[in-house]
Structure 1
């Protein structure tokens, strides 16, 4: 008649997440994408180290999807100009590195992408919901660094 306790907890967690997404500002949504990608990479690392190849692959695929279909898709290159172009190149680089990490089963590559995403998320958090011109340029140095990679 009733589902398991875990099913109920999962249902409430899903409703909480969906409510958070609906109520979130565009800035917060980007932070949520960064956090989701970072959680997926952490899961991939854990599964890689424990030899769980299937779950590792799923976690890496999820991280790539978040980067490509979330973070890259959210870029407005017309408005964002050079910064958006640099971020697009950086996101493309990260997706490629994640694919390489999956194929080579290399945790160091996952850790590299994890560091990059963490730096971007931290810079994005510093910008806040109302970016000011000097702060808005913060992520560009990292993006430009990897644009030519």
Structure 2
């Protein structure tokens, strides 16, 4: 199955509706799709896009090492399972456990060193998101009259 991601020249469009919340805009397009409207001519455009960084907590060297250990442990499990596939008998379980421990150790070391190297310039953890002030639902001019019935 081939999926094409082409940017095609769009025809003139008009604003069908404007919402303060993306979910509301998505709900309108979903309703249009459920009714069989040609949603290929619909776009949801975020206006006034900004980044919002939510601080989730203080980051200490200990927390950085713990987060690194967790990531390293998962990587170790992956490597252990990979090598365990080629091991006869119950030896694969030992590969898994040893890889987990080694991965957790080195993950903790790298997490600690990575945080220490910032020298206190970023002592917090956060999650960044993109948000828009408004979400406009646009439709091509050719189907604007047909789409208008969805906002009445």
**With structure 2 as the length reference, what TM-score do the two structures score?**
0.25
Relative contact order, higher structure (CA 8 A, sep 6+): 2
Question: Which structure has greater helix proportion?
Answer: 1
When the two structures are superposed, what TM-score results if normalisation uses the length of structure 1?
0.26
Q: When you count strand as a share of all residues, which structure comes out higher? A: 2
